[in-house]
Amino acid sequence: MEKSDSGIRVLAAGLLIVLTVGFLFLLSQYEDSRFEPRWEEIRITNVEFEGTSGLENNSIVLYLENTNKVTDAVLKQVQVLGDGFNRTFSIKPEDSNYPTGSQGQITITNVGWTKNADYQFRIISSNECVCGAITKTA
């Protein structure tokens, strides 16, 4: 009888260790989700090309929405990439704050876009993350 009692004790101890490790893992995931910074999520809902194709003084309007349900976003820059085209534009401070669920627009000026060219837009946050991107044809 003593041999089977020790086997049960070993099995119970092993089960207790597995349950403890599992509980601690789940607890760490919960704590991480509460205290770790969350990434910004900006959706570009529309892009409008304004002005005359090929002129340096034309502009682009980006319509944005913060789709993150928890984190506000502070935007820093817009990268505009195309075939042989790579420019970065600073976002004005008055256009940079996007609280959770908010919508707004950013106008970038003196772009020099060309009709029928594809452009990729990347929104860069104050955390240096790409928090929104889209490709559109002018």
pLDDT digits (tens, 9 = 90+) for 121-133: 999 999 888 889 9
Q: What is the CA radius of gyration of the chain?
A: 26
Residue 38's pLDDT is what? 54
| 82 contacts 117 by C-beta, under 8 angstroms | yes
Least confident interval from 1-5, 83-87, 92-96, 132-136: 1-5
Cα(125)–Cα(39) distance, integer angstroms: 9
- Coil, strand, or helix at residue 32? helix
Tell me the HSE value of 89 on the side-chain side, using a 13 A CA sphere: 22
Which of the pair, 23 or 65, is modelled with greater confidence? Answer: 65
Question: Confidence class of residue 8 from pLDDT cuts 50, 70 and 90?
Answer: confident
The pLDDT tens digits for 11-48 are 888 888 888 887 777 766 655 544 444 567 899 999 99
Residue 64's CB: how many other CB atoms inside 10 A?
23
Question: Distance between the two ends of the chain, CA-based, in angstroms?
Answer: 83
| 137 contacts 116 by C-beta, under 8 angstroms | yes
